Structure 1
């Protein structure tokens, strides 16, 4: 099995991808998280908020895409709670993650955004629409699903994860552990000497127990009852060789969201970064499609009024 260093050395060679600067943003009453805010070509450029995958950070999932997107859009990334330099809390909750996105948007003066999520981030994006519909002008859901516990072996797996994570809640609640995790993440965030070293630091900035808590929360996700109510332009990016979230489930989600467009990538689950030359052009197409449809909806509503 490849070590993290082997994986990074062999696959993270993206010399053209620039890593944007960011800052730790304080969210009143919630905590602080690491955010990047890359301006678009104009002050009124549409805003895109990017939500990352499990056990990653905002930049580790999205750094190949930030610069191409910023040619047309304002681009925001954030570390979701318990990941990287994200919020530390007593519990990990997808509901809280969605509220965090809304809090970041408010702090940055964003009234409406196209919310883009990949894997875990796509589940959070679904919840952002559910909990803060006024914020969401459109959705792009990559490697997404409506639920994870379908087959019997999956129910057994997630039940086991939830049980084992229950015993670790005392660790998560410890102030000392929380402070140590935050200090470790900050210590890892020095100036990168190259993309490989930077990516390895990002990988190590989320602890295994934090990823386990998030995985247990994902096992409880079930959005099928309300997917049909999504009323904003939506694009679904399906990874056509995905073994983590089976491709048929991604295609089923595209059929469940009214009017969703389908955009296919001939890659596996890690293709968001490891085959970014395939993924990024499809992402740009999906975001452009949602943005165009968003403007059409706005014009139609103005005529109706």
Structure 2
């Protein structure tokens, strides 16, 4: 496959799905993985922080963006295989991987099942999944299950960002979901995230790992940081005071610097 700076190219997975990806810049490759039901635009607000040090690679998960939108095949291990297909398409043997939210769950599988492909790993606002994880409370789940799409969007906005940050940043916000997704794909992403359970696989991760989280995150509670750190052998952690789920935007200067320093 060909690659284009700032453009979109396609990799073909082993089950025949075309996955869109975007490669930008030069330097050590850094894969940036977005949250559930989001495409590569999730990273628009902070991708430039890595331009001087890395070749950044994003993708549209199957079901999002310009990737194929099949009726099935949605799981975090399957998404991890899709990322490996993108790396193969680009001829990249080893990369740094930074996954946030569901992207952090996908990144866990890449690092556990393909340790030779991951040089350093960053996990943001994520959890190990399964019965050991600390889940969001029922009030959050109820708010996200409302029938009114605008009400759900407002709930997501409040879960992502603190009121003070929102007062200074009116948007548009690219972390609230891909509006082009068909309902089947959206349900597939929800199931993929909800059914994630990498607990037994986490000790297999050999890459040095940085775990980041906002300490006011109600979408994925920050108690999951200690759980991940207790299972992955070589970890360091950092909590951002007052930050919610999208700490990487709200605390951009500090978060970007921490990640760059760790990856260097």
Q: TM-score, normalised by structure 2?
A: 0.75
1:285 to 221, 242, 258: 258
CA contact (8 A) 2:133 2:227 kept: no
Which residue of the other structure, out of 202, 209, 231, is the alignment partner of 1:227?
202
The question of 1:272 aligning with 2:256 is answered no
Equivalent residues of 1:50, 1:62 under 8 A apart: yes
| Cα distance, 1:38 vs structure 2 | 1.0
CA distance in 2, matches of 1:97, 1:203: 17
Higher-Rg member (1/2): 1
CA distance in 1, matches of 2:124, 2:12: 27
- Note the residue ranges of structure 1 that are not aligned, 5 or more in a row: 1-19, 158-194, 293-305
Give the 5 Å matches for 1:62-101.
62-91=43-72, 92-101=74-83
In structure 1, C-alpha distance between the alignment counterparts of 2:109 and 2:200, rounded to whole Å: 13
The structure carrying a bigger helix percent of its residues is 1
Query: Per-residue deviation at 1:85?
Result: 2.0
Which contiguous aligned blocks of 4+ residues in structure 1 show a shift greater than 6 angstroms?
Answer: 151-157
**How much has 1:77 moved relative to structure 2?**
0.5
Tell me by how many angstroms 1:285 deviates.
Answer: 1.3
CA offset digits 1:195-216 (Å, max 9, x no partner): 9679599731224442222121
What is the aligned-residue RMSD (CA, Å)? 3.0
User: 1:256/1:202 Cα in 2 relative to 1: closer, same or farther (>3 Å)?
Assistant: closer
Determine if the alignment matches structure 1 residue 139 to structure 2 residue 121: yes
1:31 aligns with 2:17: yes
Residue of structure 2 equivalent to 1:123 = 105
Residues 234/200 of structure 1: CA separation in 2 closer, same or farther (3 Å cut): closer
- 2 CA distance for matches of 1:218 and 1:112? 25
2:223 is the counterpart of 1:248: yes
Contact 2:134 2:223 in 1 (8 A): no
SS of the aligned residue for 2:213 comes to: strand
Distance 2:173 2:134 in 1: 39
Question: Structure 1 residues 204 and 86 mapped into 2: Cα distance closer, same or farther (>3 Å)?
Answer: same
